[in-house]
Chains A and B, each alone.
Chain A
C-alpha cells in the first residue's frame, strides 16, 4: 500500500472541499472496497478523508412518505430496518444477497453504490485495462469473460457493476443526494447516477471531483410484490452472474432491473411496460442489441428464465 495522509472530516462541506482541492484525495467510509484496492495499488490515494464521524447514519421518513437513508447507514442496518423490510423488500433482499455478514456490517449505503467492478483484468496490474489505466486496452475482450457485461458495453470496456443493492435502488426509483466542494447540494436520480463505459470507462458515475454523497432517498412505497433473484456460482457470498429485481403489482404491471449484465444496474422503461406480457417480452427489450463474448452468451437465456421464475414467484405470492 502507498503511504497517505489521513484526516477526519468534521462537516460534509469541509470533507467535500478538502477532497475537491487536494489532488489524489479520497473519502473513506466502510473502506471494504477501497482498502482492498489500495493493498493492490489499483487505488493510490495521497490523502484519505475519513467521513465516518459525520453522522449520516440514520434512516428517516420523508415528508413525501418515503425514506431518506443516510450515506453511512451500514448495509446490515438498512437490510434489517423494519420499514425497509415491510415497504421496500426488494432492497432488503438485494442487500442480504450480497457480500458476507462481516462486510455488510462495515459497508455503507453510499460506498455500495460506488464500489468498483470485480473484472479480474481490472484487478490484475499486469494486464491492460482502460478502467484502471485509460488508453491501455481491454484484456477482458477476447479473454476470460464469463462474468462480463452483455448490454451497454463498449470497445473500451465490458465490465459489470457488482452491486446488488444498486439494482434494487434502480428499480425503486431512488435518488442520490450530494454536497459539492462549493457547498451546493444536488439530487441525482439513480437512472442518471451510473454511467455506461463508452470510451471513458474510468468515469463511472455522475459525481464531480470532491462531490460527497450524503443520503439516498426512496419515494413513497410502490406496493406490490418484491422479489430479488440472484444467480451465482455458489449459494452464498459470491457476486452475481446475473440478478433480477422485480416489483409486481396484482394487475401484472411492475418494474424490472437487472444486475450482472452491464456497467450499471440495467433498467429500461419499455421493459417495465412489457412486464404484463411476460418474461420473454420484457427480456427481449432489456437485452435488445446485446453483444456477447464466446463465454458469456449464456447470460441472455439466463436473464429470461430468471425473470420468468421471479414473475412466477410473484404470482404465487399474490395467489
Chain B
C-alpha cells in the first residue's frame, strides 16, 4: 500500500509518496537523500538513527514515515554544516568525540536533545532527588546518552564535548 505524507525536514516542507512500510529513517535517507542519519542496528538499540522530531529525540528506525504527517524533523544536516557548525558539532571536532564517525550524527542529535531535556527538568535514572531539577554531571550525561552506542569507544571524549556545550549554555 502506498500513501502520501507531508512533513517539514530541516525547515523545508517535503511531500512524499511512500510504501506504508517505509520507516522515517528510510524516508530521510533513501527518499530525501539525507544520509547523515545512519542505519546501524535498525532495531532501536544503537541510536545511530537518532533525529529530533517536534523537539524530541527519537529512533527514526522505529517509526513509520506515515505516522509523522505534519511533523517537523531536524537531522544532523539541519543542525549545522561544514561552514557553520552547530556548537555541539564544533565541540565533537574539538574533543575528538569519534573515531570512525558512523554513530556521530546520532550522538550529536541525541546530545543536543539531552541538554534540552535537562533544561526542561526531565529527571533520569541517576537523578538523586526526583523533586529537584537534575544537575549537569558526567554521571547524568552518561546515563542520558546510553541509547547511543559507539563501538570505537569514544565515550569519554563525547562526554567532554557535551560537557563543554552544557557549560557554555548554563
**Does B163 belong to the interface (CB within 8 Å)?**
no
Query: Would A102 and B57 count as touching, CB distance under 8 A?
Result: yes
Query: Would A105 and B57 count as touching, CB distance under 8 A?
Result: yes
**Does A69 belong to the interface (CB within 8 Å)?**
no
Query: Would B123 and A1 count as touching, CB distance under 8 A?
Result: no
Query: Would B58 and A102 count as touching, CB distance under 8 A?
Result: yes
Give every chain A residue within 8 A of B122 (Cβ-Cβ).
76, 79-80
Give every chain A residue within 8 A of B1 (Cβ-Cβ).
3-6
Query: Would B58 and A105 count as touching, CB distance under 8 A?
Result: yes
Question: A1-44: contact bitstring with B at CB < 8 Å (1 yes, 0 no)?
Answer: 10111101000000000000000000010011001100100000
Query: Would B130 and A89 count as touching, CB distance under 8 A?
Result: yes
Q: Which of B81-89, B97-105, B140-148 contacts A (4 or more CB under 8 A)?
A: B140-148
Can you name the residue of chain B whose Cβ is closest to the Cβ of A236?
B146
Can you name the residue of chain A whose Cβ is closest to the Cβ of B117?
A101
Q: Which of B8-16, B30-38, B62-70 contacts A (4 or more CB under 8 A)?
A: B62-70
Q: With the chains together, A265 CA to B166 CA distance in Å?
A: 39
**Does B94 belong to the interface (CB within 8 Å)?**
no
**Does A159 belong to the interface (CB within 8 Å)?**
no
Can you name the residue of chain A whose Cβ is closest to the Cβ of B106?
A102
Contact of A36 among B62, B124, B145 (CB under 8 A): B62
**Does A92 belong to the interface (CB within 8 Å)?**
yes
Q: With the chains together, A86 CA to B121 CA distance in Å?
A: 14
Can you name the residue of chain A whose Cβ is closest to the Cβ of B144?
A101
Contacts A6-B20, A50-B66, A102-B57 aside, 12 further interface pairs with beta carbons under 8 A come to: A35-B23, A36-B44, A96-B124, A97-B125, A100-B147, A100-B148, A101-B144, A102-B58, A102-B147, A103-B44, A103-B147, A236-B125
Chain B interfacial positions (CB closer than 8 Å to A): 1, 3, 19-21, 23, 42-44, 47, 50, 56-59, 62-64, 66-67, 69, 110, 113-114, 117, 120-125, 127, 130-131, 142-148
Q: Which 10 A-B pairs have the closest CB atoms?
A: A100-B147, A236-B146, A237-B146, A85-B130, A6-B20, A96-B125, A105-B56, A80-B122, A1-B21, A102-B59
